[in-house]
Amino acid sequence: MTHIVVHPAPGPSPISPQELLSWTVFAGLLLLMALYFVGAEQGATSLIQGDAVHEFVHDGRHLLGFPCH
């Protein structure tokens, strides 16, 4: 007679606080950069010449309540 032995699958490994902090800082910087481009780029603090960035995020500005014209 054979016996079937079932071993439990290993669970996910916990995330260390140092790793969590680094991902949180990375995500925060990405969000701040996106907020800058949607809210302030092509204005008085423009970093990129032309109006390509303004036209790309134009509808997002109105959706988020940023004035642009």
Collect all residues with Cβ–Cβ distance below 8 Å to 54 and sequence separation of at least 6. Answer: 41, 42, 68
| Domain of 49, in residue numbers | 17-64
Domain-located, residue 52: yes
Report DSSP state, residue 44: T
Structural domain count of the chain = 1
Dihedrals φ, ψ of 39, to 5°?
-95, -30
Query: Does some domain include residue 53?
Result: yes
Over the stretch 8-58, which tens digit does the pLDDT of each residue have? 888 888 889 999 999 999 999 999 988 877 777 666 666 777 777 777 777
The answer as to whether 10 is a domain residue is no
Q: Alpha-carbon distance 24 to 28, whole Å? A: 6
pLDDT at 27: 97
Q: Is the pLDDT of residue 1 over 70?
A: no
pLDDT at 28: 97
Q: Is residue 8 part of a domain?
A: no
pLDDT at 2: 79
**Residue 53 has what pLDDT?**
73
